């Protein structure tokens, strides 16, 4: 669900800002930069500042600009202008991948990151102000004169600005990254919506770059041939399980499709459909389980008509490609290629019943001891652990389907007893099957972390 509610949550009595407040203090104490916590309407919940001087320039500006009557030129007090600027920064941070660096009305640098809980933006962190240029370089343009301030007031504000800390642009960039991680930690895992947006935005940027590149070569896109060699390159990269390379080439192909189609959604959708089929063939050729792939295809293709815009469609395609690529073994590295391939295939087909090392070894004509050793070498897990992983993955999917009774799931995935199933499940995921189903698959990050102790 890609809908985030910003600004609708007035009052905020429900959201507990105490973690955020602690984090703001930590940020300020380690970086020296003032950090605020604001709520979903931009009102400051807490400011972490060394002393009053950290926010002196803000207070001073507000003091000079406050006018209580309707005679103010824009019918807006400066305090409102600042508030709006903060709110805007927080809003943009939510829309553009979790961090946003901007100039406040005075021209000072701030950055924001959103706090997300239950798919709602409950507030944000706002750090700053800092100055990214030397104090003598700084000038407030004609902004201050626009508001009809007296000469003395302007001088006083400019003096005060000299006390704002100077931070180099490169450092500001990393401070904004830091704030992003902090916001992510304080949020719950629905923060992933922000990350998805960032990933989507990045993909679209790459595609746009590709289009720009193509434009420089040929102004007549209708005559551009379909990039067959690129397609071939893509398939080869998938067959070898190269995730990054395949993503890069996919974006190039999408750029070309986009360019040639003139932005027609229907044309693009057809091309994408063709690509899904091709990708699945490549994955199978690379060693992925054909039944799994075809099963996935069936589900995927059913969804293709549900997308309304190109961004959703291309992002979804990337996801599919990543899934397919994951399914592929990098067989060139595996010494006992055929054995492992067959053994894994056997496990995937038989995990839902009692399956033993001995039986699987026999299936590939090896002694159990020898098989166990090479399995562990090549896969990295011992046999039983691997089988359980497959089973728990399957169980997770079944748990998300409310129609299937909890008591049946353990046997459906091949465990003999309910209690053993629960134990293994909890060990691998951090929660019991029941809790997993209750949480509808959304587990808070720290739950798993606590269990690690």
Residues that bind other proteins (CB under 8 A): 92, 95-96, 101-103, 107, 109, 132-133, 136-137, 139, 141, 169-170, 172-173, 176, 200-201, 204-205, 207-209, 211-212, 215, 219, 221-222, 258-259, 262-264, 309-311
Least distance CB 137 / other proteins (angstroms): 5
Nearer to other proteins (CB atom), residue 66 or residue 265: 265
Helix (H) or strand (E) holding 123: strand 120-130
Least distance CB 357 / other proteins (angstroms): 48
Nearer to other proteins (CB atom), residue 99 or residue 184: 99
**Count of CA atoms in the C-beta half-sphere (13 A) of 325:** 20
115 CA to centre of own chain: 14
Least distance CB 303 / other proteins (angstroms): 19
d(CA 297, CA 345): 19
Q: CB under 8 Å to 345, separation ≥6 — which residues?
A: 289
Nearer to other proteins (CB atom), residue 309 or residue 332: 309
Least distance CB 268 / other proteins (angstroms): 10
Nearer to other proteins (CB atom), residue 59 or residue 173: 173
The answer to whether 276 and 317 are in contact (CB under 8 A) is yes
Q: How far is CA 371 from CA 336, 358, 407, in A?
A: 10, 9, 34
Q: Which of 414, 369, 375 is nearest to 392 (CA)?
A: 414
Nearer to other proteins (CB atom), residue 154 or residue 374: 154
Nearer to other proteins (CB atom), residue 113 or residue 176: 176
d(CA 16, CA 20): 8
Helix (H) or strand (E) holding 47: strand 44-48
304 CA to centre of own chain: 22
Least distance CB 88 / other proteins (angstroms): 9
Least distance CB 207 / other proteins (angstroms): 5
Least distance CB 188 / other proteins (angstroms): 26
Nearer to other proteins (CB atom), residue 180 or residue 386: 180
Nearer to other proteins (CB atom), residue 113 or residue 327: 113
d(CA 379, CA 176): 39
Q: Where are the alpha helices (DSSP H) in 40-117?
A: 56-65, 78-95
Least distance CB 189 / other proteins (angstroms): 25
| Cβ burial 308-318 (10 Å sphere, 16+ → b, else e) | eebeebbbbbb
Q: Radius of gyration of the chain from Cα atoms?
A: 28
Nearer to other proteins (CB atom), residue 310 or residue 387: 310
d(CA 21, CA 27): 10
Nearer to other proteins (CB atom), residue 23 or residue 214: 214
Please state the φ and ψ torsions of residue 449, each to the nearest 5 degrees.
Answer: -65, -40
Helix (H) or strand (E) holding 172: helix 169-186
Q: Are strands 120-130 and 100-103 parallel, antiparallel or unpaired?
A: unpaired
Least distance CB 46 / other proteins (angstroms): 25
Least distance CB 255 / other proteins (angstroms): 9
Please state the φ and ψ torsions of residue 114, each to the nearest 5 degrees.
Answer: -85, 150
Neighbours of 398 (CB within 10 A): 17
Least distance CB 319 / other proteins (angstroms): 17
DSSP class of residue 131? B
Q: Which of 357, 384, 385, 386 is nearest to 370 (CA)?
A: 357
DSSP helix/strand/coil, 354:
coil
Tell which phi-psi region holds residue 103, choosing left (phi > 0), alpha (psi between -120 and 50) or beta. beta
Nearer to other proteins (CB atom), residue 202 or residue 326: 202
């Amino acid at each position: 669900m890609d809908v985030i509610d910003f600004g609708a949550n007035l009052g905020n009595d429900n959201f507990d800002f105490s973690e955020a407040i602690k984090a703001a203090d930590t940020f300020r104490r380690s970086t020296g930069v003032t950090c605020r916590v604001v709520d979903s309407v931009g009102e400051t919940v807490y400011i972490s500042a060394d002393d009053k001087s950290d926010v002196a320039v803000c207070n001073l500006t507000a003091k000079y600009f406050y006018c209580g009557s309707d005679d103010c030129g824009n019918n807006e007090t400066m305090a409102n202008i600042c508030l709006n600027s903060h709110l805007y920064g927080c809003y943009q941070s939510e829309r553009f991948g979790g961090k946003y660096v901007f100039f406040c009305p005075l021209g000072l640098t701030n950055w924001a990151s959103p706090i997300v809980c239950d798919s709602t933006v409950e507030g944000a962190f706002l750090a700053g102000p800092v100055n990214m240029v030397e104090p003598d370089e700084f000038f407030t343009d004609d902004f201050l004169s626009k508001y009809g301030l007296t000469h003395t007031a302007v001088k006083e504000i400019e003096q005060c600005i000299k006390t704002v800390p100077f931070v180099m642009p490169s450092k500001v960039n990393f401070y904004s990254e830091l704030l992003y991680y902090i916001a992510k930690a304080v949020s719950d895992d629905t923060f992933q919506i922000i990350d998805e947006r960032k990933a989507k935005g990045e993909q679209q940027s790459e595609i746009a770059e590709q289009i720009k590149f193509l434009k420089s070569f040929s102004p007549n896109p209708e005559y551009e041939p379909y990039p067959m060699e690129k397609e071939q390159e893509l398939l080869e990269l998938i067959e070898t399980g190269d995730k990054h390379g395949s993503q890069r080439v996919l974006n190039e192909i999408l750029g070309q499709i986009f360019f040639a189609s003139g932005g027609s959604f229907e044309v693009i959708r057809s091309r994408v459909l063709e690509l899904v089929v091709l990708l699945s063939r490549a994955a199978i050729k690379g060693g992925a389980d054909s039944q799994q792939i075809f099963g996935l295809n069936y589900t995927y293709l059913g969804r293709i008509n549900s997308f309304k815009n190109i961004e959703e469609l291309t992002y979804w395609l990337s996801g599919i490609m990543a899934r397919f690529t994951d399914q592929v073994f990098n067989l060139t590295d595996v010494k006992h290629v055929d054995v492992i391939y067959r053994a894994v295939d056997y496990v995937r087909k038989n995990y839902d019943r009692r399956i033993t090392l001995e039986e699987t070894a026999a299936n590939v004509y090896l002694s159990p001891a020898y098989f166990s050793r090479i399995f562990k070498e090549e896969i990295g897990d011992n046999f039983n652990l691997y089988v359980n992983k497959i089973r728990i993955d399957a169980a997770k999917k079944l748990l998300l389907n409310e129609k299937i009774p909890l008591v049946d799931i353990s046997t459906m995935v091949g465990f003999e007893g309910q209690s053993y199933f629960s134990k293994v499940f909890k060990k691998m995921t951090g929660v019991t099957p029941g809790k997993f189903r209750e949480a509808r698959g959304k587990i808070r990050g720290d739950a798993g972390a606590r269990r690690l102790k």
